[in-house]
Structure 1
Amino acid sequence: MVKKGSSGNKGVYTGSFDGLPIPSHLVEQYNASGISTLYPPQAACIEEGLFEGKNLVISIPTASGKTLIAEMAMHHQIAAGGKCLYVVPLKALASEKYDDFSGKGVRVGISTGDFDRKDEQLGRSDIIVATSEKVDSLLRNRTGWINTISLLVIDEIHLIGDEGRGATLEMVITTMRNRNPDLQVIGLSATIGNPKELADWLSAGLIESEWRPVDLREGVYFHGLIQFTKGERAVQSIKKDADTNLCLDTVAEGGQALVFVSSRRNAEGAAKRIGSALRLDEPKLQEIAQQVLESDESEVAKTLAACIRSGSAFHHAGLSRDVRRLVEGGFRKGAIRVIASTPTLAAGLNLPARRVIINSVHRFVAGEGQVPIPVREYRQMAGRAGRPGLDPYGEAVLIGKSGEGVQELFDSFILAKAEEIDSQCAKRSVLLSRILALIASREATDHDAISRFFQGSFYAVKHANLSYLNRICTKVIKDLDGMGMAIDLGGRLEATEFGDLTSKLYLDPRSAIMIAEALRERDAVTPFGVLHLLSATPDMFRLYLKSADGELIESVMEEREEEFLIGRQEDTLPWLGYEEIVTAIKTALVLENWINEVPVEMIAERFSIGPGDIHGLIEGIGWLIHATREICRREIPSLHTEMSELEIRLKHGVKEELLPLIRLRGIGRVRARSLFNSGYDSPAALTEAGVEKIARIIGQKTAESILEQILTGGRGKRKGEGDEKASSLQETIQKKKRGQREILEFWESGE
């Protein structure tokens, strides 16, 4: 492990890899990929103590080589016997970084899900890539290897200021530093207004730079002219829409463009308009379009495929994950010339283009209407302009609506300083989970220890007086006591069994209370009732209600009233209001359609949502039903089996009758339904039929694999059976039919 202050590369650094304390094979790989010297900001990091174990906050533009800085530091730590944790905000970004770091002579692991798993096997990795939520859960569950981390890298560290996820990230950093004072921390950010405060919090050196490998020109387009901070450029007005003309101009000179818009509908509309203007007809585009249709049969996918055939595409969360990857891959390879996207693309994936066009600087916020975007969001989008090694320059262009508005856009965005970030941890709702986690993990077991813990937080840097936070913490501890989550034993705080379980399951205490109170003393529940309950919890993402949904919601509330497990419970559950109950109905209906085997394409059309929304709901509810199953195991055993079966149904999207089949590896919802409809409704029926009959339905290899699973009780091949062909396997099954009742009962039970 590299300790702070240890000897490393000192003095003025020239920009060469020569003499750097990193493995030679890493340098060879850099050279092979065309990287022979370092960028000035990278050299500055080395001079500041990158290889000396010094904490660093690195605030430099997108595409200026932040990942390479972190990678060199990680390989240096690993060579000295250390272990590294690379924290990202999004699962998609985790996968991208995992691919970046793999194949370079070190063991790389990735962890993004299953919040109650310790993932001890990851301790064998040299670099672990994980989301901040996953790291938080590993800390709560006292995973052994996490205390051996010697280098913590935080990608997009400015997200500490994010209202939704900032508190989690701040607590992860604070907890890890609290456990290991010698930990080296490197924070990476491209957009931050107060980097010195972050650096002061981390006792870190600060590297700030505006240097980019590709020159960035920022400007405003109005009436056929882009006005830059220096100079201007005329753009031919071929079409009536500004973004279309800017894209045509970019593609005509051999570049690609990203168009950022405010909504999914606008992204799809822009892609259709721009595609109609481009009218490209190339084999590669036809191939990508066909792959989209083969991956997804929904209407939104058909619309996307039509755009791709002409050279444009749209990208938003309503698309399935596989389709989004096809769009991203097609753009990276240069086939797709233009992507119209919601801002999520700018915050996540590395997808640069020659010209970035920001169509709107306003976003809709519930309760506030249309509000201007933050400067840092503009910077994230603008930073995607210019592909190193491919573009001679990058352009970020805002679209002006009037002559007077041009200067206003310059003043408000291009020339403006990014907003300062603030701590998000001093909210009562946030602190419920945070303080319970501190108590349950024994990070802090009395009031003074909790106060000392927060003295190491970013909040303490931004707000030197902790008296306000301490008062909130006192109230939260009383809340947890009232919820039955924690108790005060004469000054010593201790989590109850229920509180400990809640923390380890990574549940908001309010969600755990809702679930437990709604299910206790229930003789029977319906899947819809459970899905509605979980969809109303603070932990669950809910679909927006549209005006057209009103009649459906009213009819469900009237006709299925007896199925609801929650009503207006302001007295016992003050955070649960009428809005949460009503908006959860649509979400629960979508999920009910899924477990009733309605095709994704039909669900999307029925509820006017995208396939990506459906998969997002399935992923979100999957964790909540797993947690509910564990609560029932401990608190309500009479419902445990029912929750276990619902968990399987949600994972695979099947009716209850397919449960015996879906438990077999290699059998999904389509194959299970085909087998069931052919009269094979259980492992026993499959065994009775034999390989030959089953192969006609699901294929020879799958049939052999399934029957072998049944024969071995799911334990894999038995000794001496590894090389048997289909005929001998069939013979073996026939010979052992009399003695395999126990095995079949194993599969039927679902244990």
Structure 2
Amino acid sequence: MNIDSVSAPGWTAALAAQIRSWGIRDFTGIQTQAIEAGVADGRSMIACAPTSSGKTLVGEIAILAGLERGHRCLYLVSHRALADQKYADFVARLGSEVSIGLSTGDRDEGEAAARLTIATYEKALALLLSGQLDVTASVIVADELQIIGEPGRGPNIETLCTILKRQGMAQIVGLTATVGNAGELAEWLGCALVGCQDRDVDLIQQVWSGGTAYEVRFGQEDALDCLEGEHIPQDPVEVARKLIALGRGPVLIFTESRNEAMELAARFAIGRQQTVRGIELAEQIALFSEPTEASEQLQDLARREVAFHSADLTAQERQVLEQGFATSAFCACFATSTLAAGVNFPFRSVVFAKLTYAYGEREGTMLTRADYRNMSGRAGRLGLHPDGYAVLLPRTQIERSHAATIVRPENDNVVSRLVGLSMRRSVLALIAHGVVNTRPALVDFFRLSLLWHQIRERNPHKLDDVVAKAATATDWLIRAGFVDDDFDVLLATPVGRAVAQSGLLPLTAVGFLDMMCAHAADIDADFERYLTGLLHWVCTCAEFGSERPSRYLPWPSKGYVDSVGFLQAFPLLAAVDRNDRRANQGAHALALFAAGAPEREIRRKTNLPSGQLHRLAADIAWVLDGLRRIASVPELGYPQTLTNKLQMLARQIQWGIPVEALDILRVAQRENVPGFGRQRAVALLRQGIETFDQLLTAAKDKVQQAVGGEKRMSALLHAVASCIGFRQDKFREAHRQLAERLGVEALVERCNDALGTDYEDAVIALLTREPSWSIRQIDDGRQQNAPDLLLTLGVHALLIECKTTTKKPPLLAKEAAFAILQKALGYDKAMHRVTLGKPRFDEHSRKKAQAAEEVTLIEHEVFIEGVLRVLAGKVTPRQLVEWLIAPGLTELDRLGGPASYQILANDKSSS
């Protein structure tokens, strides 16, 4: 259907113009069906069609139409890389018109209450249960919804969808690959079903084995002999060469491991000539690469228009390669399954080098039909290829039988995995965030699930098992002190709420609290010495080692390394199991990673390749942040300086560098400085360059040598000189709306905009709206070198210094952050020192605050949030003052009371 011929419910000229601006003129079959069924008119539906059939645009139309109707929108995706890509797409297309947020667990951008939020399923569940996401009357797009049937992730995704059902949505559009029971999914969610079995580009599935070959067209059953009289190779490299000779390139060859991909790519490239286009690609890779294990081989292969792709590549390396894929610049790419989770690159043929997995958790299992459908769906691009080819290479009779099965047109059913739910975590989350508050309500919740929908007529007693597990989990949570049963009303305790908000397994929290009871004082007193022990403890905690782990440790390569000896050189918080190679080598690698060691060195010392290391680091950083949230509960009594250290360690692990190098690296990453990553940030650190001022004033040859070239140096210096910040204020719009409701919008806006002494005046004007405390201006122009303000309430007195900066990047250095100490020398020690910084403090200031005993640092956005909670009556003035006198960098988790966006949502629902 042509876009100019559309006449459908909800279809508008503005919607058509927006889609036309994306270069789209014609709609595929599934897109046509969805439009005619009313996807632009708010009609909920499941769109079920093969991979590469255009389902994504169906979801995007629902988002565009929902925004046009004034709804908030949520776009759910299966992987963090896809979330990053969708965020970039929507920002490029709509960023000037609507606020857009991204939340994936390891990356958060934009407003907390954005009009359009892109999130992974797991992060959306966490946001929803913590009150940070309001889905009432929202438009929700659920991409790759068939993963609700996966054993590992499915239970949490089903929980999320059940909550969405319960809370009520304006529209939900589920996008799913071809499954056998799409109608059942649609019925469960109360949706219409639109679907098609046909691809717009024919997929010809071929099985090459034992010197013969046959083919089955996608969607058909009949198999026909093919390539008769031709030599039929079995080796993946020879298969790729054969397909190119047949005119069926570019070719994507899926392998199981990074090492296989690199080895096969190197073999394929033997004898191939360097080309002009290949040399240009290699130059781009060189510019955008750090000196990693793979960078030199990537460049050598690129000169011959060959590539390999795996999770080990840096984000910038992937970006260069994927741009090459998009323009068919590579004739062959050898890739792990990570590429199957990306966008549709124009490969004409896809080859499956093996059907049985040989490594890791999946060792001995075979390629599933769902994975095969997703990966083979990358073959053939509409407008570029007349058809696509999927070539399977079975080696045994069992594999030949399996290949014959997965190329048939039958589709797998999506089956609820709720019985595999981590019940304690889920029940705690449901109770902590008010979804249920009694045992009968818990039963009612599970009766809304897909499980109950699927078994209620066939085997209704199966729900009894889930209910019994929920009851057992509830009793355990009560014994652990996470839930109170008060006259049959279930309420989460403060610690229980923090555990639920952290997303961690309750068993992890119990182990952490036991460990902290024994070691918290020692850890706080000598954190650097205990850093390795903390990392080892996390690698051995329930998140990775329980019966139902939420995260998985990578499998290091085989070969002897002395990780146990390395770990035993430090004070440990858990016993070392010499047989637990994954935990020991993982902790060893992370300790080196955090110290800034090169990834080649880490691989040599721990057998952990860089891609697995980066994935593990992201998971460990997430766990550390959750532990920090739990330790921040005031009732536990742990000092803020200790939780500041845990939070800094999480950042250090996430980025893989000492904290002194973190500011420069973050600016470089934000401004997309080519090839500048952790290793070059550490190289600057070794040259004594830690701060922006040091970088801008250092000798150019010194900087150039550290970063590897004049072009990269120029880009870095430009980034530092021009960067206006790491991100927009997360709560700014929520603050504006709440301030308007409280009648202080002008005062808050003045605080947001003011600088220098004007900022001090604006803060006084805002604080004066609360009559309980007394505000005095000390630095009135007559006193020299005095603090700016004195706030008193009861027995508490706070000397406050207001600091702003207009430097680029706008971060306050430690000289400004701690100037209050010198200015307050002549004042009573009982008067607590506070620095209010706008917009943020640099990492050096944050690190120094960890050792603070009489100074509190509070950033502007956090300060506004706290004052608004007081003015809204959700936090008492005394609570805010006591929060401000805790030394260190203020943490909102310690303040209590609902956040600004929750206050707005609660007011909205009550009205």
TM superposition score normalised by structure 2: 0.69
The answer to whether residue 118 in structure 2 is matched with residue 129 in structure 1 is yes
- The CA deviation at 1:208 is 2.8
- The CA deviation at 1:485 is 1.4
- The CA deviation at 1:446 is 0.7
- The CA deviation at 1:450 is 0.8
Q: Which amino acid aligns with 1:423?
A: S
State the partner residue of 1:4.
none
State the partner residue of 1:468.
465
The answer to whether residue 160 in structure 2 is matched with residue 172 in structure 1 is yes
Pick the aligned partner of 1:312 from 306, 310, 319.
306
Deviations 1:149-204 (A, max 9, x none): 42211100000011221122111111112111x53221111142322221221122
For structure 2, the residue ranges without an aligned partner over 5 or more in a row are 217-223, 524-529, 544-549, 670-676, 704-712, 727-751, 759-803, 809-814, 825-834, 851-888, 890-911
Deviations 1:88-119 (A, max 9, x none): 011111122234444545526232245898x8
> Map of 1:214-363 to 2, 5 A cutoff?
214-222=201-209, 226-229=213-216, 230=224, 232-233=226-227, 237=231, 241-250=235-244, 253=247, 255-276=249-270, 279-294=272-287, 295-363=289-357
Alignment check: 8 A CA contact 2:104 2:123 kept: yes
Deviations 1:316-362 (A, max 9, x none): 22222222222222111111121112223223432241111112121
Deviations 1:514-536 (A, max 9, x none): 22211223142411110011122
| Residues 722, 200 of structure 1: alpha-carbon distance in 2 compared, 3 angstrom cutoff | closer
| Residues 139, 704 of structure 1: alpha-carbon distance in 2 compared, 3 angstrom cutoff | closer
> Secondary structure of 1:535's match?
helix
Identity among equivalent pairs (%): 24
State the partner residue of 1:584.
583
Using the TM superposition, name which of 382-391 and 162-171 deviates more.
Answer: 162-171
State the partner residue of 2:187.
200
| Residues 596, 362 of structure 1: alpha-carbon distance in 2 compared, 3 angstrom cutoff | same
> Secondary structure of 2:427's match?
helix
| Residues 415, 690 of structure 1: alpha-carbon distance in 2 compared, 3 angstrom cutoff | closer
> Map of 1:537-686 to 2, 5 A cutoff?
537=541, 538=543, 539-549=550-560, 552-556=562-566, 559-560=568-569, 563-567=571-575, 582-634=581-633, 635=636, 637-638=638-639, 639-655=642-658, 658=660
Alignment check: 8 A CA contact 1:177 1:183 kept: no
State the partner residue of 1:183.
170
- The CA deviation at 1:591 is 1.0
Q: For residues 520 and 694 of structure 1, what CA distance do their matches in structure 2 show?
A: 50
| Residues 216, 533 of structure 1: alpha-carbon distance in 2 compared, 3 angstrom cutoff | same
The answer to whether residue 463 in structure 2 is matched with residue 499 in structure 1 is no
Pick the aligned partner of 1:423 from 402, 416, 422.
416
Q: For residues 696 and 678 of structure 1, what CA distance do their matches in structure 2 show?
A: 11
Alignment check: 8 A CA contact 1:515 1:628 kept: yes
Q: Which amino acid aligns with 1:524?
A: D
Alignment check: 8 A CA contact 2:208 2:232 kept: no
The answer to whether residue 75 in structure 2 is matched with residue 86 in structure 1 is yes
Using the TM superposition, name which of 259-268 and 45-54 deviates more.
Answer: 45-54
Aligned length: 703
| Residues 718, 160 of structure 1: alpha-carbon distance in 2 compared, 3 angstrom cutoff | same
Q: Which amino acid aligns with 1:107?
A: V
Q: Which amino acid aligns with 1:142?
A: G
State the partner residue of 2:776.
none
- The CA deviation at 1:690 is 12
For structure 1, the residue ranges without an aligned partner over 5 or more in a row are 1-11, 569-577, 726-731
RMSD: 4.1
Q: For residues 672 and 318 of structure 1, what CA distance do their matches in structure 2 show?
A: 19
- The CA deviation at 1:23 is 3.9
The answer to whether residue 849 in structure 2 is matched with residue 749 in structure 1 is yes
- The CA deviation at 1:423 is 1.7
> Secondary structure of 2:419's match?
coil
Q: Which amino acid aligns with 1:70?
A: G
Q: Which amino acid aligns with 2:101?
A: I
Q: Which amino acid aligns with 1:619?
A: A
Alignment check: 8 A CA contact 2:665 2:678 kept: no
Alignment check: 8 A CA contact 2:328 2:346 kept: no
Q: For residues 151 and 72 of structure 2, what CA distance do their matches in structure 1 show?
A: 30
Using the TM superposition, name which of 525-534 and 27-36 deviates more.
Answer: 27-36
Q: Which amino acid aligns with 2:614?
A: H
Q: For residues 467 and 261 of structure 1, what CA distance do their matches in structure 2 show?
A: 43
State the partner residue of 1:71.
60
| Residues 580, 97 of structure 1: alpha-carbon distance in 2 compared, 3 angstrom cutoff | farther
Using the TM superposition, name which of 610-619 and 464-473 deviates more.
Answer: 610-619
| Residues 251, 493 of structure 1: alpha-carbon distance in 2 compared, 3 angstrom cutoff | farther
Pick the aligned partner of 1:112 from 103, 112, 133.
103
> Secondary structure of 1:255's match?
coil
- The CA deviation at 1:603 is 1.6
State the partner residue of 1:447.
439
Q: For residues 120 and 412 of structure 1, what CA distance do their matches in structure 2 show?
A: 46
- The CA deviation at 1:440 is 0.2
Alignment check: 8 A CA contact 2:74 2:117 kept: yes
Q: For residues 253 and 13 of structure 2, what CA distance do their matches in structure 1 show?
A: 41
State the partner residue of 1:8.
none
- The CA deviation at 1:85 is 1.1
